[in-house]
């Protein structure tokens, strides 16, 4: 039985199911990707492949309404947010189309001695496997597949089981843009089949965005077969407030940082660490703001957040929140859960002994902490197994530099939220993963940095 299905989280209706790929079809897909690498990838230039990615960007924009409707059905993303994701994905594709020639240019090396010359030439590794999550179905694919197809690495893409319709739509875009069969292949693979793909000697690397558990499983298999991995996993990102001239503006940004995408973003702010002199006022205003966030059917243009992605996701979050309350935390909620609709809420009194203290709450539930000093804020921010993103608000530039340097995370945003952009690297440290996507760094993970040394 296939696990691939579109189940509308707003209604619980199973819209359509999709069959898992057969082993024979999977073997053919891997072989076809390798054939494309040996022929098309090696016979086309970076500029030619970049032109095709630019067409992929155009097709995303041309089809944005239909693409948005798909992910609203699949994972409950409000229509306006879905359009925004598609436009951001198009911007990522266009960014790599515009900059690929520069990113992949030969790099000369100044020799310390001897005659002749030396360069580093970036060339493709070969077939790659991408394993993508449900929370940003187009964006996650764009930041992996865009640069790698320009590099010349054919892509096998295993999407989340609840995103089969968007997965097929993306593959069709690549074909319609002019990519040959085998350059980008959508595969509805099972977990067991994923293991066989990673083990296949044709496949040269794996990029996964998902949970810690999935990342550990994939990294273990990849390690046994000496395959490179890029992992973008969970996060429990701190939002540190040490000083401000405009608390209302900070509250507005803090609310967005927690409830955007219904709180289902790995780099969303989840723990709000507030200096004691601002704590009470911030907590009052922030709680009111979070609870006032309008929730409803994702097709309603007046709502800010829709349902969680599935009943299972709501069940997991319910269990975590209940464990937090049972462990001594206090909750203020906007209401009662209804199916996959989880009401926004704020937790306080979260101590280190609480079972949910170090867990990622994937939904519109914020945790607020009080601290008495900058050092205490840093220690609390770093007291997590995760290290993806972080947010810092202060009016003191020297303090901003100190704290940003001390935070153990892959990204620090100072006095700003929602500032992701194609040119900025994305990735984390600790249990949030390894490697980077986006920016020039995203075009530097799966390449052969080949030294060519020429004598006199």
Q: Which of 165, 171, 266, 374 is catalytic?
A: 266
What distance in Å separates the CA atoms of residue 209 and residue 27, rounded to the nearest whole number? 24
139: its two tokens: 């964006």
- Residue 6 β-bridge partners: 16
What distance in Å separates the CA atoms of residue 58 and residue 56, rounded to the nearest whole number? 5
Q: Which of 74, 171, 232, 360 is catalytic?
A: 232
What distance in Å separates the CA atoms of residue 419 and residue 305, rounded to the nearest whole number? 19
Q: Which residue, chain included where needed, has tokens 């067409």?
A: 55
What end-to-end distance do the CA atoms of the chain give, in Å?
A: 64
What distance in Å separates the CA atoms of residue 134 and residue 323, rounded to the nearest whole number? 25
Judge contact between 149 and 182, C-beta under 8 A.
no
What distance in Å separates the CA atoms of residue 260 and residue 138, rounded to the nearest whole number? 16
Bridge-based pairing state of the strands 184-186 and 237-241 = unpaired
The answer to whether residue 110 is catalytic is no
The answer to whether residue 220 is catalytic is no
CA distances from 165 to 188, 320, 333, 455 (A): 11, 30, 34, 54
CB count in 10 Å sphere of residue 116: 9
Residues catalogued as catalytic? 232, 266
């Amino acid at each position: 039985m296939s696990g691939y299905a579109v189940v509308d989280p707003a209604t619980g209706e199973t819209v359509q199911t999709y069959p898992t790929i057969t082993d024979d079809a999977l073997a053919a897909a891997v072989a076809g990707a390798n054939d494309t690498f040996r022929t098309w990838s090696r016979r086309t230039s970076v500029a030619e492949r970049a032109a095709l990615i630019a067409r992929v960007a155009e097709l995303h924009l041309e089809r944005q309404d239909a693409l948005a409707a798909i992910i609203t059905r699949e994972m409950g993303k409000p229509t306006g947010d879905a359009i925004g994701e598609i436009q951001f994905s198009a911007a990522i594709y266009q960014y790599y189309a515009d900059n690929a020639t520069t990113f992949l240019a030969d790099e000369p090396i100044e020799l310390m001695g001897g005659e002749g010359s030396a360069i580093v030439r970036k060339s493709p590794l070969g077939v790659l496997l991408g394993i993508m999550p449900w929370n940003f179905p187009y964006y996650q694919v764009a930041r992996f597949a865009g640069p790698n197809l320009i590099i010349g690495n054919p892509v096998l893409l295993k999407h989340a089981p609840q995103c089969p319709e968007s997965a097929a739509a993306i593959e069709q875009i690549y074909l319609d843009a002019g990519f040959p069969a085998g350059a980008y292949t959508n595969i509805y693979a099972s977990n067991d089949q994923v293991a066989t793909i990673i083990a296949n000697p044709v496949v040269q690397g794996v990029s996964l965005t998902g949970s810690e558990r999935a990342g550990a499983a994939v990294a273990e298999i990849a390690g046994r077969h000496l395959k490179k991995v890029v992992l973008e996993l969970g996060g429990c990102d701190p939002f540190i407030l040490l000083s401000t001239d405009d608390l209302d503006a900070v509250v507005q940004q803090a609310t967005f940082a927690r409830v955007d995408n219904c709180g289902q973003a790995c780099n969303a702010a989840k723990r709000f660490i507030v200096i004691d002199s601002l704590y009470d006022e911030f907590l009052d205003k922030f709680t009111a703001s979070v609870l006032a966030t309008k929730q409803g059917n994702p097709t309603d243009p007046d709502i800010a957040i829709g349902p969680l992605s599935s009943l299972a996701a709501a069940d997991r979050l319910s269990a975590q929140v209940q464990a937090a309350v049972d462990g001594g935390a206090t909750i203020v909620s906007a209401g009662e859960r209804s199916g996959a609709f989880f009401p926004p809420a704020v937790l306080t009194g979260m101590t280190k002994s609480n079972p949910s203290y170090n867990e990622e709450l994937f939904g519109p539930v914020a945790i607020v902490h009080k601290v008495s000093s900058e050092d205490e804020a840093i220690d609390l921010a770093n007291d997590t197994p995760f290290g993806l993103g972080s947010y810092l608000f202060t009016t003191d530039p020297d303090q901003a530099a100190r704290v940003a340097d001390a935070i153990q995370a892959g990204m620090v945003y100072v006095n700003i939220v929602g500032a992701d952009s194609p040119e900025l690297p994305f990735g984390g440290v600790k249990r949030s993963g390894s490697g980077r996507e986006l920016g020039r760094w995203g075009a530097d993970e799966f390449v052969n940095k080949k030294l060519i040394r020429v004598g006199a």
